[in-house]
Structure 1
Amino acid sequence: MLKKILGGLAAAILVLVGVIATRPVEYSVQRSATLPVPVDAAFAVVNDLRRWEEWSPWEKLDPQQKTTYSGAESGTGAVVAWSGNDQVGEGQMTIQESKANELVRIKLDFIKPFSSTSTTTFAFKPAEGGTEVVWTMAGTNDFMGKAFSLFMDMDKMVGGDFERGLASMKTAAEAEAKKRAEAEAARVAAEKAAAEKAAAEAAAAAMAAQPAEGGAAVAAPTP
């Protein structure tokens, strides 16, 4: 009897292993949104990892998490590492490629609650009404990843976070666009004021250089 039970258990395990082996090796999650801002404003809040706290859907999951930044200030070579509760885990992001107003490609390494590596990309392009942002995460499943996918679909697990993140990114990008517009307006006003001052000074100098009305006085002859 025991042999039959063990044999049945072994057969079930073999079947399960076979099913797991047939699961897809690669996975991809993608969401997109059109933000009502110029492309440079949307790009700015992603290309600077320090600004992710303005819109990332995971930032508020653990207010006590430890975050450290290293490498470049922004763009290629910028790195952020974090360690927090079970909801945020532990990991690191490194910007591997940055094309101004076009693309940010990031290597995402998770350490906890499980080890994994994936590639996250943000693609930007002008669109009717503003800027289209396409957020994609892609990677490969090892055996444990395949087993996990039997019970939890990656798209369902992460897709909602992407949607919330893009909604928050809209607010952050709108604030960035407003700040840039105000800075540009101030710059134009300053240039206009400087030009008007220079024109007034030039006019005053020209007036000062003209002879007095009626010409110069003629000295009377000496008797």
Structure 2
Amino acid sequence: MFKSIALGLVVLIVGLLGFAATRPDSFSVQRQITIKAPAEKIYPLVNDFHQWTAWSPWEKLDSTMTRTHSGAPAGKGAVYGWKGNKDVGSGRMEITDSTAPSQVQIKLDFFDPFEAQNRTTFSFQPQADGSTQVVWVMQGPMNYVSKLMSVFVSMDKMIGKDFETGLANMKAAAEK
């Protein structure tokens, strides 16, 4: 009986590990929202890391989080670092490209609770009625451990809700 259970468990584990190996090598999470404001009003909320406190979904998770700003004051070359509790971890963002008022590209490095390097893009698309469609995309590689984790929970489920909260906060800040 023990041999049958052990063999079944080994087959299950090998199958799980094999399935994880077939998962995609990268991920992409995307959310969007329409904001009743021109792109020129919304764009600075993203292009200037000092303004992220008004809308970022992670800012309220740790009131004692330490933040650093370096490089350019805003736009390409602006750098934002953070170190906080287990909910926010630590990391660094750098704006790598910025085209006013249509797009901001960010290199995102996580250090803790896990290491990861991702790319984030915010696009601002003016609409005919004067509103702006804001699209937030994060993309990154999936190493084997990430692939194994994705069998149980996807990156979309892990951070998609945070993106939705952040975009709702951005909408509230821009529509004031």
Does TM, scored on the shorter chain, surpass 0.5?
A: yes
TM value normalised by structure 2: 0.92
* Residue number in structure 2 paired with 1:148: 149
Number of aligned pairs?
Answer: 175
Match of 1:105, SS? strand
Give CA-to-partner distance per residue, 1:84-126, whole Å, 9 cap, x none.
1111011111100000101100011111111111111000121
Larger radius of gyration between Structure 1 and Structure 2: 1
* Residue number in structure 1 paired with 2:98: 98
Is the Cα–Cα contact under 8 Å of residues 54 and 169 in structure 2 kept in the other structure? yes
TM-aligned CA deviation for residue 170 of structure 1: 1.3
* Residue number in structure 2 paired with 1:71: 71
1:48 aligns to 2:48 (yes or no): yes
Is the Cα–Cα contact under 8 Å of residues 96 and 105 in structure 2 kept in the other structure? yes
Is the Cα–Cα contact under 8 Å of residues 122 and 135 in structure 2 kept in the other structure? yes
- Distance, in Å, in 1 between the alignment partners of 2:131 and 2:8 is 61
- Distance, in Å, in 1 between the alignment partners of 2:11 and 2:175 is 58
- Distance, in Å, in 1 between the alignment partners of 2:39 and 2:76 is 18
Listed as ranges, the matches of 1:18-33 within 5 Å are 18-33=18-33
Is the Cα–Cα contact under 8 Å of residues 38 and 130 in structure 2 kept in the other structure? no
Supply the AA of the counterpart residue of 1:149: S
Match of 1:94, SS? strand
Match of 1:64, SS? coil
Gaps of 5+ in 2: none
TM value normalised by structure 1: 0.73
- Distance, in Å, in 2 between the alignment partners of 1:137 and 1:115 is 15
Moved more, 130-139 or 1-10: 1-10
Bigger RCO (CA 8 Å, 6+ sep): 2
Match of 1:101, SS? coil
Listed as ranges, the matches of 1:1-223 within 5 Å are 10-127=10-127, 128-175=129-176
Give CA-to-partner distance per residue, 1:7-54, whole Å, 9 cap, x none.
665544432221110112111111111111111101011100110000
- Distance, in Å, in 2 between the alignment partners of 1:125 and 1:12 is 47
- Distance, in Å, in 1 between the alignment partners of 2:7 and 2:163 is 45
- Distance, in Å, in 2 between the alignment partners of 1:12 and 1:160 is 31
Supply the AA of the counterpart residue of 2:151: L
Is the Cα–Cα contact under 8 Å of residues 103 and 123 in structure 1 kept in the other structure? yes
Give CA-to-partner distance per residue, 1:145-178, whole Å, 9 cap, x none.
0011111121122111111111110122234xxx
More strand by share: 2
- Distance, in Å, in 2 between the alignment partners of 1:161 and 1:77 is 25
Supply the AA of the counterpart residue of 1:135: W
TM-aligned CA deviation for residue 5 of structure 1: 7.5
Match of 2:104, SS? strand
Is the Cα–Cα contact under 8 Å of residues 41 and 174 in structure 1 kept in the other structure? no
Match of 1:41, SS? helix
Moved more, 141-150 or 124-133: 124-133
- Distance, in Å, in 2 between the alignment partners of 1:153 and 1:2 is 34
